Amino acid sequence: MSAVVIATAYGGPDVLEIANQPAGEPGPGEARIEIRAAGVNPVDGKVYSGAFGTDPARLPLRLGSEASGVVTAVGPGAVGPGAVGPAGPVQVGDEVIAYRAPGSYAEELVVPASALVPKPDTLDWAQASGLMVTGVTAWHLLAATGVGAGDTVLIHGAAGGVGVMAVQLAVGRGAAVVATASPVNHDFLRELAAIPVEYGTGLLDRVREVAPGGVDAALDLAGTDEALDVSFVLVPDRTRIATILSFERGLNTGIKVLGGAPGADPGTEIREAARLDLARLAQEGKLRVFVSHTFPLAEVARAHEEIMRGHTQGKIALIP
């Protein structure tokens, strides 16, 4: 038996509990991992908040989608012995990142081997647990808007999980980055080679001041009308504006709408393929994960109160 987080009802973080459940044995093409850290993402809170419906038949809900850990058992492969992940065979003792790994708020988890990539040894467990959800989303955003060398890109909500990845990847591609954030995060963003600006009234003028040559692309990670209003004025080509939150408005205005909502582009293939690139960049020291808070698994409610404030710098991790 091992500890798992469950939501026993729809509501706020007070519905979260720790239960003890058997992790089970890995079947063909699966592996069991002992989880060392689980990444916390805003969507994990939306799952039980009711934002995606309140079907009582789905309760209790398991939470989480990404983790880092050690392989403790491997099931039989479809062909030959063992299980195979995107980077090759998976073996007991491997240090891995698991994504997509539903139910990763747990001490142990059985996942398809296809969800496992080797953990870069430049990242500690908490950092490794936070590489993928934000990383693949940022990768998809940059690919969808074609951000590359010579571009100036405006990133709204740049100091959060997805933003920190998007800033680093855009800078790595040779783009100049204008990054919106609260003033408390401006030094942090400067260290990532972005030009920070405060969001809120007057944003358009502040961006124009720091980007007198214009803005080629804009990424909305904030979901505010302000982010899209400013992007529409500054970016001449609507296909170079993308949102991961303003689904309805985005679909009505001809911009790129990315994610799992109806009508949005889930980017499944590009996101799956990005995992190995993200791990490689992290291994090479070209991509960092910034964990601002860790919480013991048993304090998951506190972790969720923090993520739901909507002002996380970088990532939050749960430690079983």
Ligand X SMILES: NC(=O)c1ccc[n+]([C@@H]2O[C@H](COP(=O)([O-])OP(=O)(O)OC[C@H]3O[C@@H](n4cnc5c(N)ncnc54)[C@H](OP(=O)(O)O)[C@@H]3O)[C@@H](O)[C@H]2O)c1
Stretch that binds ligand X, among 40-48, 170-178, 206-214, 295-303 (CB under 6 A): 40-48
165: enclosing H helix or E strand = helix 161-172
Stretch that binds ligand X, among 11-19, 73-81, 248-256, 309-317 (CB under 6 A): 309-317
Distance CA 8, CA 58 (A): 10
Judged by CB under 6 A, the residue of 26, 69, 259, 320 near ligand X is: 259
- Nearest residue to 98 (alpha-carbon basis) of 68, 140, 77: 68
Q: How far apart are the first and last CA of the chain?
A: 14
Smallest gap from Cβ 226 to ligand X, in A, equals 7
Of 68 and 312, CB closest to ligand X: 312
Of 281 and 289, CB closest to ligand X: 289
244 binds ligand X, rule: CB under 6 A: yes
222 binds ligand X, rule: CB under 6 A: yes
Of 104 and 134, CB closest to ligand X: 134
152 binds ligand X, rule: CB under 6 A: no
Residue 35: both structure tokens together:
């989880």
Smallest gap from Cβ 26 to ligand X, in A, equals 28
Smallest gap from Cβ 305 to ligand X, in A, equals 12
* Residue 291 near residue 314 (C-beta atoms within 8 A): yes
Judged by CB under 6 A, the residue of 104, 127, 129, 137 near ligand X is: 137
Stretch that binds ligand X, among 4-12, 51-59, 92-100, 217-225 (CB under 6 A): 217-225
The residue behind tokens 């074609």 is: 146
State CA 192 to chain mean position distance.
18
The residue behind tokens 């992290």 is: 282
* Residue 181 near residue 154 (C-beta atoms within 8 A): no
Residue 136: both structure tokens together:
């693949």
Judged by CB under 6 A, the residue of 135, 161, 250, 320 near ligand X is: 161
Annotate 192-218 with b (16+ C-beta within 10 A) or e (fewer): bebbbbebeeebeebbeeebeeebbbb
134 binds ligand X, rule: CB under 6 A: yes
Stretch that binds ligand X, among 36-44, 49-57, 58-66, 228-236 (CB under 6 A): 36-44
Judged by CB under 6 A, the residue of 33, 245, 287, 291 near ligand X is: 245
Distance CA 316, CA 105 (A): 12
Residue 118, strand partner residues: 96
221 binds ligand X, rule: CB under 6 A: yes
Residue 89, strand partner residues: 84
Judged by CB under 6 A, the residue of 181, 215, 289, 300 near ligand X is: 181
Residue 288, strand partner residues: none
**How many chain residues bind ligand X (CB under 6 A)?**
29
Task: List residues near ligand X by CB under 6 A.
Answer: 41-43, 133-134, 137, 156-157, 159-163, 180-182, 185, 199, 221-222, 224, 244-245, 258-259, 307, 310-312
